[in-house]
Amino acid sequence: MELTMLWYLVPSVIMFICGVYGFITRHNLIAILLSLELMLNAADLNFVVFNRFLFPGAMEGMFFTLFSIGIAAAETAIAVAIVVNIYRAIGNTDINEIKKMRF
């Protein structure tokens, strides 16, 4: 059995949909953050796969993924810091408790 592009893309789509589902349904901020990382990794996977199969001689997709992972790490650090601060302020991390920024 040959490993075609589809074998990589289908898990990536599943990962992405899981991320979206988790992002919409979970109430815990940490869980939302995890879902976010899932979506991001699905996108990274796509970069690598497309680079590998469509442009075998090039390296841009690989490098872009590396950058993306680095940025995701930094972004997670900030997000966790925000979550910690929210916890200090209101005592829990429930997304339904923070709805003050509205019209």
Partner 1 sequence: MEMTLPILILAIPITMFLILGIGGVYMSKKMAGVLGILGMGVTMCIAYYVALTYFFSGDPAFIDAQGLRLQVPVFDWLWLAFTNALQVKLGFLLDPISAMMLIVITTISFMVHLYSWGYMEGEKGFQRFYAFLSLFSFSMLGLVVATNIFQMYIFWELVGVSSYLLIGFYYKLPSAVSASKKAFIVTRFADLGFLIGILILSFYCKTFDFIPITNDPTSVLASTGGATFMGASVLTWALVLIFVGGMGKSAMMPLHIWLPDAMEGPTPVSALIHAATMVVAGVYLVARMFPLYLIEEASLLFVTCVGAITAFYAAVVACCQIDIKRVLAFSTISQIAFMMVALGVARPELHDGFGYMASMFHLFTHAMFKALLFLGAGALIHAVHSNDYTAMGGLRKYMPITHWTFLIGCLAIAGIWPFSGFFSKDEMLAAMFANHWFWGAWMTMVAGLTAFYMFRLYYLIFWWEENPHYKEHKPHDAPWQMSLPLIILAAVSCVAGFIPFGEFVTWNRMPYHIHIELPVAATSLTVAILAIALATVMYRKKNPIPSRLKAAMPGLWQAAHRRFYWDEIYMFITHKIIFNIICKSIAWFDRHVIDATMDGFAKITQKTSFAIRGMQSGSIQTYIVWYFLGAVLLAGITWICIF
20 touches partner 1 (CB under 8 A): yes
Whose CA is closest to 39, among 50, 53, 23? 23
Q: Which stretch binds partner 1 (CB under 8 A): 6-14, 20-28, 42-50, 70-78?
A: 20-28
For partner 1, which is the closer residue by CB, 59 or 101? 101
User: What secondary structure does DSSP assign to 72-94, as a single string?
Assistant: HHHHHHHHHHHHHHHHHHHSS-B
User: Does 88 interact with partner 1 (rule: CB under 8 A)?
Assistant: no
Query: What's 28's DSSP letter?
Result: B
Run of H or E including 43: helix 29-54
Q: Which of 57, 74, 78, 96 binds partner 1 (CB under 8 A)?
A: 96
Which CB, 88 or 102, lies closer to partner 1? 102
Report the C-alpha gap between 92 and 29 in whole angstroms: 9
Min dist. Cβ of residue 103 to partner 1 (A): 4
Which residues contribute to the site for partner 1 (CB under 8 A)? 20, 23-24, 95-96, 98-103
